[in-house]
Chain A
Amino acid sequence: MKNLLIKTIAISLLATLSSFTMADSAASTHASKASKHSALAGGHSVVGSVGAAASVVAIPLIVIGSAGVVSAAAGAELLDSNAAFAPLEISDEIILQDPSPAAAMQ
């Protein structure tokens, strides 16, 4: 009976810990961002250009009206009007975060 209890506790602990760990390892043991860049660079059927261009700066935009007057967030007014729901332009480039220093050295 004692052995059964020990065995049961041990298996339960393993099962529990492995299910938690699985969620983490699914993220942490994966392909580096360098491989993400190379995977996309080798693609043939990606919508838009396959630049995998890493960004350096991003500025939030508020676009007013269909004319697409662009301004930074400060001072701009996004009105509760039809203009606020006007479709926005999305560039074709595939944009990625720069790889980590370790991945960049590979």
Chain B
Amino acid sequence: MKNLFISLLLLISVPSFAGSQSNGKAQFSAENIANFAKQVEHYAARQGARAFIISRVGSDPDSLPRGINFTHTAIAIYSQISLKNGKKAKGYVIHNLYQRSKQPHISDLVTDYPVDFFWGVHQLKAGITIPTPAVQQKLIEAISNGSNKMLHNPNYSVISNPMNNQYQNCTEHTLLVLNSAIYKTTNLTRLYANNKAYFKPQVVRTSPFKLLLGNVFVKGVSTADHGSKVKTATFTTITNYLNDYGLLYKSVTLNAQGKITSNI
């Protein structure tokens, strides 16, 4: 009886959240990661994507709360990249909000490249959401004019509420940059009002017990910005948002075997 009680408590505590960090340990060989990263780039390039939303699986997928398929989301921009050897290359630069590894309640904006992005993943699987060309152009302009920096709130919570600016995670930041591009504004009052009016976040289905304890003891996890239900932005809900308003060109999940699955 005693053991059963303890086992039950252990079970409800098992699901975990993954933060968005940049220095993950490689779970696959360098060759596999580099090849997969190129595969993702080539897929997006074949679609003519100048800007798209990219997502990865940064922790054990079995440990993720139901309905959350990816753990980190960012914006990839087709760019001319000047290399240290003097050459110029064409490929995607990824504009991220990453949680600090030693201060997980703080985030930084970091640009990296597909191999960096996929380095620590637990699955060679990418979420690729390509907006319409008009939205792509506005996204490029938003990144070029520094809107992403103006919208950054470094107070990080892995389950931040996209309806207010108390905390911000990678996906909320991506949503803000996207809407900043669409509405041509960095006015946070207007952007959060529009999130409330038009964006449907994901309900985080996990143990209230775990949320309570995580909230108290773990930096980078907070429910202080939420009401009775914990809801957050995800790759999937951003994709649905674009689709609902006719701003989506294509959204797929791509794996290392080359299997392409539509997300819509």
Q: Do A and B come from one complex?
A: yes
Given the known inter-chain contacts A55-B83, A90-B41, A95-B91, please indicate yes or no for A16 contacting B210, CB distance below 8 A.
yes
Q: Residue B83 contacts which of A20, A40, A88, A93 (CB distance < 8 angstroms)?
A: A93
A80 to nearest B CB, angstroms? Answer: 5
Interface mask (A48-87 → B, CB under 8 Å = 1, otherwise 0): 1001011111111111000000101110111110001111
CA A60 to CA B139, docked complex, whole Å = 10
Q: Residue A61 contacts which of B18, B21, B50, B83 (CB distance < 8 angstroms)?
A: B50
CA A57 to CA B89, docked complex, whole Å = 10
Those of A9-39 within 8 Å (CB) of chain B: 11-13, 15-17, 19-24, 26-33, 36, 39
Q: CB of B187 within 8 A of chain A? A: no
The segment from B26-34, B171-179, B223-231 found at the interface with A is: B26-34
Q: What residues of chain B lie closer than 8 Å to A48, measured between beta carbons?
A: 34, 38
Q: Is the CB of B82 within 8 A of A23?
A: no
Q: Residue B90 contacts which of A40, A80, A90 (CB distance < 8 angstroms)?
A: A90
B223 to nearest A CB, angstroms? Answer: 13
- What residue of chain A has the Cβ atom nearest to residue B249's Cβ? A85
6 closest A-B pairs by beta carbon, nearest first, are: A30-B25, A28-B101, A27-B21, A91-B89, A84-B133, A39-B30
Considering residues A7, A29, A47, A79, which has the most beta carbons from chain B within 10 angstroms of its beta carbon?
A: A47
Q: Is the CB of A95 within 8 A of B113?
A: yes
Interface size class on chain A is 35 or more
Q: A20-B217, A88-B50 are in contact. List 11 more A-B contacts (CB 8 A).
A: A12-B213, A20-B210, A24-B19, A24-B21, A27-B22, A30-B23, A32-B23, A47-B34, A48-B38, A72-B144, A87-B48
Main secondary structure of the interface of B (DSSP, over half): mixed
CA A58 to CA B48, docked complex, whole Å = 19
Would you list 10 pairs from A and B whose C-beta atoms are within 8 A, ordered by A residue? A20-B214, A31-B25, A45-B35, A53-B87, A59-B80, A78-B136, A78-B137, A79-B133, A93-B91, A98-B84
Interface mask (B116-144 → A, CB under 8 Å = 1, otherwise 0): 10011010000000001110110011011
